Structure formats: structure tokens, C-alpha cells
Amino acid sequence: MIKHALPVTREADFAAWYQSVIAEADMAEESGVRGCMVIRPWGYGIWERIQRLLDDRIKATGHENCYFPVFIPLSYFEQEAAHVEGFAKEMAVVTHHRLIADGKGGLVPDPEAKLEEPLVVRPTSETVIGHAFARWVQSWRDLPVLINQWANVVRWEMRTRMFLRTAEFLWQEGHTAHASAEEARAETLRMLEVYRDFAESDLALPVVAGEKPENERFPGAVATYSIEAMMQDGKALQAGTSHFLGTNFASAQNIRFQNNAGELELAHTTSWGVSTRTIGALIMVHGDDDGMRVPPRVAPWQVVIVPMLRDTPEDEALVTYCRELQQALARQSALGEPLRALLDLKPVKSTTKRWGWVKKGAPLVIEVGGRDMAAGNVSLIRRDRLYRADGKLDSVAMPRDALAAEAPALLEAVQQALYDEAAARLRTGITPASDWAAVAAHFAPEARNPGWLEVQWARPTGVALDAVVEKLKALKLTLRNAPIDQAPADGTCVFTDAPAVERVLVGRAY
């Protein structure tokens, strides 16, 4: 039996396994500040890769980056009723702008420095960006406005979990304004497609793109779309959302333009975001019982070279041998970018290093000992296939120069293998159910890893939808989305027995 590198397996306790990956891969840790985490270099390095790749896509679709204030005056929120209703319960509020000594050696907010109007730490920026749009947009010539920002936001969650649900998180939020509803809807779907392709191509994360049901809409939106990924425990994780806001925010914030005919019209707006939550998805989709496995496109280091140093005079030649490899690799291009190769010379035992990089999930780990060097070789470990069939570590000797030449192809193979593995799981994890009894049976308490069900429904609204949501809640289920790419409905609604109008996914979720 294989002795895995993590203290707990996915099978034994998925939630504990998730935390152990984060800890053992040095990705993040609790900060001591309630609900906030410290993102450590390996975790932040993945985020930097996500930023770079997604930012390129956001710019390629014509958007420009800006930066808006972290503080939003309370009055801005009050203008859009559904929006404030959705966020009021979880807002961090700044009330003072100075501290004074409390006379007991400590500090307290200075009562003389109380703000006239409290400021909210942004949970999302529609309101403050809408105010800017109202200044920027006068005529149809000013439209569309296509902007994005990379920022921290705060939502005061009661139960937090690293990456998945933290009081503060990092994200990008795109905000656009258009002259017509059609154009704004097209933008909403364009960015959904950008997210889908980014998730699949860059993160090796197969997803289902679809429309959220009414009860799952962003507060203030007319329509919300998401990409949903399936974790290894069968739960869903919403990995990106795109909202068509109609004229809701434009009318609250007075974003009006003079059209071609000289008449004043309300603009139509959208917003869309992807956050550090995505890193939680990467862990739960790609991680295994030996730790994280980072898809090569988003790996801070794609190839890590570990010389087996022994504190002897021979070490110097070994380091030179390894450095030549590192330099040969750095001259290569992999997956369309310069290859990122690290030579790890930290003063740490080489087996500790090996397992450190395995747990971090570097795609290729190259070990080089004196014997390898004598033979002109290196030993290669591919992180996506760590063990041989006999349970031994799959470390393969190969000529150093062949490795340098083949590394780009190997990285492509790892990226593809991670995607294929996850895609197969998503494909087999979604099954159809045609009546409520089948739904209830599928999600019986003893069912392990039930995945999602695709059901047909009549898309009820209002109180009828509330009843459906309650019914699902009793089984700990939620409506995920109605896939954009779906066959026409041809049955009856599993909730109401009315004729179905579309297919919708049902599952447990993070």
C-alpha cells in the first residue's frame, strides 16, 4: 500500500484533506485576523499566474483596467434596494478615522473622529463604479464603457474556509455600460465564454456554463450566468459569474446618455468576476493524496530541479550540471510562454525537497544525483502520474539534454492529462433524473459522491420557486445553473409536473 504524503486522504475526510493540502503545500494559512487568510508565496504565485492569463483575455476583449475606492459611502448602497438587501448583512463598516489612548495603555476609536457618513469596505463595486459611469457617459459616443479592476473585497462571512469563503478575498470585477440591452446581454455572454475558455484552457478546469435560476441571481441583476466546476467529492463550485444588470443600476445611479436622435436613455450595464476562490477549485479538482497538482499553465514554477547535495566537494560540479539544465530550460518556450524552471538550492535535505515539491504540485520535479550526472542523466517525476502500477514512485532516468528538449511537450501532456481526468469526472458525474423520487433516491444521505443531476423543470418563479428551493434544501441541494448548451426540454418538471421548459443542474455545492 502506498504511503501518501498527506496526513489524511480524500476518501477518509475530504474537508480535512482540503485543509491539509493548503497547509502542506504552503499555499495559505490563517492570519490571526478573523476570517482573513495569509496567501503564501506558492498560493499567491498561482494567483499571479491567474491574474496574468485572465488579464490578457480581459484586455484582448477590449477592456481597460482602472481602480476605484475601497470605501463606499452608505448612501451609494441605499440607491439600489435589492443590491443593498443582498449585502447589508455582511458589510464591514468604517465609522472612525482616528484612534486615541484609552488611558489604560490601549487604544480606542476617537469619539471626536466619528465619520458623518459611515463608509462600507467594498463587497463589490457596482455602486461606486456606477457613480463614475454617470460622470463619464453623456452621449452614445461615450458607449460602450468597458472597464475592469483587480481588487480586494470584503464580505463578512460567519463561517469561513480558506480560499472558498474568506472575509476578505481578491478578485477582478469587470463593469461595462452599453447603449442597448442586446449589446449588454451579448457582453454578459461574451465574458461568460471568456471565463469558460480560461477555466478549461488555462486552469484545466472543465466547467458547465449556464444561467442561474432567479433565486441565485446577483442582488440587483436581471440575469446571472455562471461557470460551475465539479469537485472530487461531487460538489459544485461556482468558479466565475457574469451578470446582466439591465437598467437597474443605471436608473439608481443615473447613468444616462443622449442617443443618436438626441433623446436621453438609460444605459444597460453588466458586471462579472472571478476570485481567489478559483484556487480552492483548483485544489479540489486537481489535488490528490500527495498534495496539490498545479496545471502547468498556472504553476509558478513548471519544472523544479533538485540536486542531491551531500556537503562534499563534488557538490559544485553537480550544481553546475543542474544550472546548465535550468538555463537550457529557461531558453525554451512551453504552452506559449517562456518556460519557468527553478533550481532549488535551499539548505534542506533533498528528500524533504522532493516531497515538498510533490506536495506543492510542481508539474515536473527533476532530481539529480552524482550517479545521474556521471551518466549524463537526470531523474524525472511527473506530478500527474506519481506512482507506477506496483505502487513505487515513478521516477524515470533520462538523458539531461533529452529532458531539456522534451520538457515543453511533457508540460503540455501534464496540462492535458489533468484536464482529461477532470473532464471524465464531470462527464460521468452528471446524470439525468426524470422525477422527484429519483432525485431523492440519488441524494439519499448514504450516497457517496453523488455528483449532480440534470433535471427538467418548468422554471417556476416567485413563491413557486421558493417551494422548489425549500424542497431541495431539505436534501442539502441547490440549483446550479441551466446549461447554455443543452438539448430542448421534452419532459415534465420534476418539481411541479408541469411541462418542462429547460434542463437545470442540481447538486450540493461549496
Which residues make up the interface to a copy of itself (CB under 8 A)? 29, 31-33, 36-41, 44-45, 47-48, 64-75, 77-78, 84, 88-100, 105-109, 118-121, 128, 131-132, 135, 141, 147, 151-152, 154, 156, 167-168, 170, 347-348
Is 28 exposed, middle or buried (CB count within 10 Å of its CB: 0-12, 13-18, 19+)? buried
* Minimum distance of a copy of itself from residue 19's CB (angstroms): 16
* Minimum distance of a copy of itself from residue 349's CB (angstroms): 11
Rounded distance between C-alpha atoms, residue 133 and residue 120, angstroms? 20
Of residues 202, 215, 172, 214, the one with CA closest to residue 59: 172
* Minimum distance of a copy of itself from residue 285's CB (angstroms): 22
Cβ closest to a copy of itself, residue 331 vs residue 371: 331
* Minimum distance of a copy of itself from residue 314's CB (angstroms): 23
305: CB partners within 8 A, 6+ apart: 322, 325, 326, 341, 342, 343, 344, 366, 368, 378
Q: Are 198 and 295 in contact (CB under 8 A)?
A: no
Cβ closest to a copy of itself, residue 180 vs residue 434: 180
Is 384 exposed, middle or buried (CB count within 10 Å of its CB: 0-12, 13-18, 19+)? buried
Radius of gyration (C-alpha) of the chain in whole angstroms: 26
* Minimum distance of a copy of itself from residue 345's CB (angstroms): 11
Cβ closest to a copy of itself, residue 152 vs residue 215: 152
In degrees, rounded to 5, the angle at the alpha carbon of residue 509 between the alpha carbons of residues 507 and 510 is 175
| 3-state class (DSSP) for residue 475 | coil
Q: Are 220 and 126 in contact (CB under 8 A)?
A: yes
Cβ closest to a copy of itself, residue 135 vs residue 448: 135
* Minimum distance of a copy of itself from residue 186's CB (angstroms): 19
Q: Are 272 and 142 in contact (CB under 8 A)?
A: no
Cβ closest to a copy of itself, residue 12 vs residue 348: 348
Cβ closest to a copy of itself, residue 160 vs residue 481: 160
Q: Are 249 and 130 in contact (CB under 8 A)?
A: yes
Cβ closest to a copy of itself, residue 183 vs residue 412: 183
Rounded distance between C-alpha atoms, residue 493 and residue 231, angstroms? 27
* Minimum distance of a copy of itself from residue 29's CB (angstroms): 7
